[in-house]
């Protein structure tokens, strides 16, 4: 696995988008730890979804992943386990599942990171606790399509513990959104690693602009956003180039910051964009009319909305297994795909057509896209390529059940002022989804068949693919909380 992680980091380096950190409001720097030796305490019971200790191992692995990325001289270690589930400024940096009465409730936030900060000049982290929402389930370590990957979510929270805020790049561990069945965020991408090194080293040294952070305020602490760029060997205020994290247009040398098209929270960063003509964007990024006939690149995305994917009810812009947003064709059977693509499960109910990867069965993997067999399963230590079950029924079933209860569920089509997801009305309530999070206020898209779908249809659809439908959710890592006393809270 060590080798795999290094390879993944190198492969991503060419498209790094830099990172975002929480700002010390009195300085042009991130909020850093008061100590260079941070120990975390794992609550000994782990998740009540897992009884063999692999949940604890997964958390330990997440800690080890960040520990390996910090600057020399800064240590992040796991101390003795504890039975307590306390959180707050008690000198113990606890990681614990909360199985009932989760703060904030079952609001789809998978975890919450609660930092305690000594405010002043400088402001310093003194205690950070991580709560994992045991009311959501199932938490898993084996990469199953319906599972919430313990190691991935813990890794995201630990990024906040280090001092990182959300990143624009959707492949980053620090991106806001998550989804069941994905494990790629067990590994830090290049941006995450740069952020970890910078926040645990002395000062803001740099050799290129993506070494320097976008700084954003932390709820309860304050601090206006500040974009830094590299001036020789140190980070100084200034605009940056294409694709890097931004909040304001002035953060970008192009004068244009494109907000994350799929972001849940208004405070999440966008990416510096630039004008384009079709096919002219760096890295094959999408060139899109962002309004008024203005064509702009969408950094890091080959699509930003379903309408970018050629039309038709079965062509969607989906958050893929490796975090990248891609156009995918929905399917129920292998025969709905053009060979060699196969129909593999997502957590939406329907599957999507995927080209096989290069890795043979038995090779280590982080997501199914890497594998010839389009399945990546294992445990907290190792994920291996397998062959995904064949989705065939002899061809007696009509094509894709693209919309409607029991079928595919799209990404949210928007968000209300509280950050809750907005869904099409047909998805709200009584369908096994996390309906508490559903606010169906938007009109249905053209071609939607929701109104005509009958219970009989639903039963048929559910029987077809593997029984992996229970978890068809789009998971949200984060929910911003207000500060309490000196415990400054953000969530993830
Ligand atoms: Zn987060």
Spatial contact of 58 and 143, defined as CB atoms under 8 Å apart: no
Give the β-pairing of 350-354 and 325-331. antiparallel
Spatial contact of 246 and 257, defined as CB atoms under 8 Å apart: yes
Q: How far apart are CA 287 and CA 341, in angstroms?
A: 26
Residue 354 exposure: Cα atoms within 13 Å on the Cβ side: 28
Report, as an integer, the average pLDDT of 424-433: 29
Residue 54: which H helix or E strand, with range?
helix 54-67
Give distance in angstroms: CA of 110 to centre of ligand 1.
Answer: 9
pLDDT bracket for residue 461 (50, 70, 90): very low
Give distance in angstroms: CA of 113 to centre of ligand 1.
Answer: 8
Give distance in angstroms: CA of 341 to centre of ligand 1.
Answer: 34
Give distance in angstroms: CA of 447 to centre of ligand 1.
Answer: 35
Beta strands in 176-260 (DSSP E): 214-216, 226-231, 234-237, 245-246, 257-258
Give distance in angstroms: CA of 434 to centre of ligand 1.
Answer: 20
Helix (H, G, I), strand (E, B) or coil at 435: helix
Q: How far apart are CA 49 and CA 195, in angstroms?
A: 32
The residue among 243, 264, 298 that closes a domain is: 298
Number of H helices, E strands in the chain: 5, 27
More confident residue, 427 or 292: 292
The verdict on 277 and 372 lying in the same domain is no
Give distance in angstroms: CA of 167 to centre of ligand 1.
Answer: 9
Give distance in angstroms: CA of 160 to centre of ligand 1.
Answer: 7
Give distance in angstroms: CA of 166 to centre of ligand 1.
Answer: 6
Report, as an integer, the average pLDDT of 107-124: 85
CB atoms within 10 A of CB 241: 16
Report, as an integer, the average pLDDT of 266-270: 87
Give distance in angstroms: CA of 322 to centre of ligand 1.
Answer: 18
Task: Decide if 487 is inside a domain.
Answer: yes
Task: Decide if 434 is inside a domain.
Answer: no
Q: Which of 248, 341, 340, 449 is nearest to 326 (CA)?
A: 341
Task: List the single range of 41-45, 62-66, 330-334, 488-492 with lowest mean pLDDT.
Answer: 488-492
Give distance in angstroms: CA of 104 to centre of ligand 1.
Answer: 15
The verdict on 172 and 133 lying in the same domain is yes
CB atoms within 10 A of CB 135: 14
Q: Ligand 1 (ion): which residues have CB within 5 A?
A: 477-478, 492
Task: Decide if 421 is inside a domain.
Answer: no
Give distance in angstroms: CA of 133 to centre of ligand 1.
Answer: 13
Q: How far apart are CA 475 and CA 140, in angstroms?
A: 14
Give distance in angstroms: CA of 450 to centre of ligand 1.
Answer: 33
The verdict on 321 and 449 lying in the same domain is yes
User: Which pLDDT score is estimated for 478?
Assistant: 41
Task: Decide if 82 is inside a domain.
Answer: yes
More confident residue, 6 or 85: 85
The verdict on 459 and 372 lying in the same domain is yes
Per residue in 388-397, pLDDT tens? Answer: 877 664 443 3
The verdict on 281 and 354 lying in the same domain is no
Give distance in angstroms: CA of 391 to centre of ligand 1.
Answer: 35
Burial degree of 72 (CB within 10 A; 0-12, 13-18, 19+): exposed
The verdict on 133 and 10 lying in the same domain is yes
Spatial contact of 123 and 25, defined as CB atoms under 8 Å apart: yes
Q: How far apart are CA 461 and CA 459, in angstroms?
A: 5
Task: Decide if 254 is inside a domain.
Answer: yes
Domain hosting residue 190, numbered range: 2-202+475-491
Task: List the single range of 89-93, 108-112, 135-139, 445-449 with lowest mean pLDDT.
Answer: 445-449
Spatial contact of 70 and 64, defined as CB atoms under 8 Å apart: no
The residue among 276, 298, 320 that closes a domain is: 298
Q: How far is CA 427 from CA 44, 292, 318, 422, 440, in A?
A: 38, 32, 17, 10, 7
Task: Decide if 440 is inside a domain.
Answer: no
User: Which pLDDT score is estimated for 107?
Assistant: 57
Residue 462 has pLDDT above 80, yes or no: no
Give distance in angstroms: CA of 404 to centre of ligand 1.
Answer: 30
What CATH number is given to the structural domain containing 90?
Answer: 3.40.390.10
The verdict on 158 and 227 lying in the same domain is no
The verdict on 126 and 245 lying in the same domain is no
Give distance in angstroms: CA of 159 to centre of ligand 1.
Answer: 8
Per residue in 48-79, pLDDT tens? Answer: 999 999 999 999 999 999 999 999 999 999 99
Q: How far apart are CA 250 and CA 280, in angstroms?
A: 23
Spatial contact of 132 and 98, defined as CB atoms under 8 Å apart: yes
The verdict on 55 and 115 lying in the same domain is yes
Give distance in angstroms: CA of 307 to centre of ligand 1.
Answer: 28
Residue 328: which H helix or E strand, with range?
strand 325-331
Q: How far apart are CA 300 and CA 57, in angstroms?
A: 33
pLDDT bracket for residue 446 (50, 70, 90): very low
User: Which pLDDT score is estimated for 350?
Assistant: 65
Give distance in angstroms: CA of 352 to centre of ligand 1.
Answer: 27
Give distance in angstroms: CA of 426 to centre of ligand 1.
Answer: 29
Q: How far apart are CA 210 and CA 126, in angstroms?
A: 28
Q: What is the count of structural domains for the chain?
A: 3
More confident residue, 122 or 14: 122
Give distance in angstroms: CA of 477 to centre of ligand 1.
Answer: 6
Residue 329: which H helix or E strand, with range?
strand 325-331
Task: Decide if 419 is inside a domain.
Answer: no
- Residue 168, φ and ψ in degrees, nearest 5: -70, -40
The verdict on 288 and 236 lying in the same domain is yes
Task: Decide if 425 is inside a domain.
Answer: no
The verdict on 181 and 197 lying in the same domain is yes
Residue 2 has pLDDT above 70, yes or no: no
Evaluate if pTM is beyond 0.85: no
Residue 216 has pLDDT above 90, yes or no: yes
The verdict on 322 and 278 lying in the same domain is no
Give distance in angstroms: CA of 358 to centre of ligand 1.
Answer: 32
């Amino acid at each position: 696995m060590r080798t795999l992680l290094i390879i993944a980091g190198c492969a991503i380096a060419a498209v790094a988008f830099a990172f975002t950190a929480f700002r010390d409001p009195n300085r042009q720097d991130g909020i850093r730890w008061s100590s260079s030796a941070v120990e975390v305490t794992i609550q000994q019971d782990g998740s009540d979804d897992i009884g063999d200790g692999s949940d604890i191992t997964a958390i330990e692995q997440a800690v080890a992943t960040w520990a390996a990325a910090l600057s020399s001289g800064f240590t992040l270690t796991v101390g003795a386990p504890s039975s307590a589930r306390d959180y707050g400024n008690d000198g113990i940096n606890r990681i614990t599942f909360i199985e009932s009465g989760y703060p904030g409730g079952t609001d789809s936030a998978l975890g919450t990171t609660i930092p305690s900060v000594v405010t002043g000049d400088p402001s310093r982290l003194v205690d950070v606790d991580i709560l994992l929402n045991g009311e959501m389930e199932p938490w898993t370590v084996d990469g199953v399509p319906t599972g919430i990957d313990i190691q991935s979510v813990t890794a995201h929270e630990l990024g906040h513990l280090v001092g990182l805020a959300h990143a624009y790049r959707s492949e980053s561990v620090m991106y806001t959104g998550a989804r069941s069945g994905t494990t790629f965020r067990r590994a830090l991408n290049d941006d995450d690693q740069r952020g970890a090194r910078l926040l645990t080293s002395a000062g803001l040294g740099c050799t290129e602009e993506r070494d320097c952070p976008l700084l954003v305020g932390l709820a309860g602490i304050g601090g206006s956003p500040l974009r830094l760029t590299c001036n020789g060997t140190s980070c100084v205020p200034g605009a940056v180039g294409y694709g890097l994290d931004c909040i304001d247009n002035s953060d970008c040398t192009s004068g244009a910051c494109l907000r994350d098209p799929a972001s849940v929270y208004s405070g999440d960063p966008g990416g510096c964009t630039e004008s384009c003509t079709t096919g002219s964007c760096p890295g094959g990024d999408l060139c899109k009319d962002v309004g008024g006939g203005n064509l702009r690149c969408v950094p890091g995305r080959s699509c930003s909305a379903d309408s970018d994917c050629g039309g038709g009810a079965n062509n969607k812009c989906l958050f893929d297994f490796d975090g990248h947003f891609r156009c995918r064709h929905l399917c129920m059977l292998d025969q709905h795909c053009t060979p060699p693509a196969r129909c593999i499960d997502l957590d939406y109910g329907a599957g999507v057509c995927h080209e096989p990867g290069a890795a043979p069965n038995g090779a280590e993997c982080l997501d199914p896209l890497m594998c010839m067999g389009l399945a990546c399963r294992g445990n907290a230590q190792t994920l291996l390529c397998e062959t995904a079950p064949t989705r065939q029924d002899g061809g007696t079933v009509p094509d894709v059940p693209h919309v409607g209860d029991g079928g595919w569920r799209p990404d949210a089509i928007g968000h209300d002022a509280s950050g809750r997801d907005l869904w099409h009305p047909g998805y709200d309530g009584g369908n096994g989804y996390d309906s508490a999070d559903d606010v169906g206020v938007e009109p249905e898209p053209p071609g939607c068949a929701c109104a005509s779908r009958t219970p009989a249809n639903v039963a048929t659809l559910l029987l077809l693919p593997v029984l992996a439908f229970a978890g068809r959710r789009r998971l949200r890592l984060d929910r911003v909380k207000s500060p309490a006393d000196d415990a400054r809270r953000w969530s993830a």
